[in-house]
Amino acid sequence: MGLCCPIDKCIHSVTSAHVDLRIDNNGTWMDAFQFGTPGDTTWTLEGQSFELDVQRTSYDSVPLLHLDSAGGQILIDDAAQRVIHFDVPAADLQASLSPGAYVYDLVMVDGVNVRVPLMHGQLFVNQGVTYPAGP
């Protein structure tokens, strides 16, 4: 079974953008994303939180890596312009994900637990070369 269905067969929420990501496992994962159209003031990220799970396949019952706003790994940079970024230390990546290909999705959750899928796709973890010196 593949990681994700063929692009023409994938069915996801219309609110969810397909975005494949690549990260190295020897540095902090700090990708930033802006949602919606720049300058659009009809909605914001006020009162929203975020969750992202990484798994080998979409059908795995337990994520290999879970990120969320409460844990400080998904941060709102600008609520009005709808900008978030990830803050995942290399040690967390190395402990959870071997180099390889995974699937993920990012969900926005409001104060009454309405869950809106924002992004999904493949996450490719590359083996880094330079590591910090040990103690």
Per-domain residue ranges of the chain: 17-30+47-126
Angle in degrees, CA 51, 87, 5, rounded to 5: 50
Banded pLDDT at 10 (limits 50, 70, 90): low
Distance CA 64, CA 103 (A): 10
Q: Alpha-carbon distance 57 to 51, whole Å? A: 17
pTM of the full structure: 0.87
Long-range interactions of 85-88: CB distance < 8 A, separation 24+: 85/30, 85/31, 85/32, 85/33, 86/29, 86/30, 86/31, 86/32, 86/52, 87/28, 87/29, 87/30, 88/28, 88/29, 88/30
Q: What is the percentage of the chain residues whose pLDDT exceeds 70?
A: 90
135 pLDDT band (50/70/90 cuts)? low
Q: Specify the range with the lowest mean pLDDT, choosing from 28-32, 105-109, 130-134.
A: 130-134
Fold type of domain 17-30+47-126: Immunoglobulin-like (2.60.40)
Per DSSP, the residues of 46-58 read TT-EEEEEEESST
Mean pLDDT in residue range 71-94: 97
Q: Is the pLDDT of residue 74 over 80?
A: yes
Which residue reads 């009809």 in tokens? 42
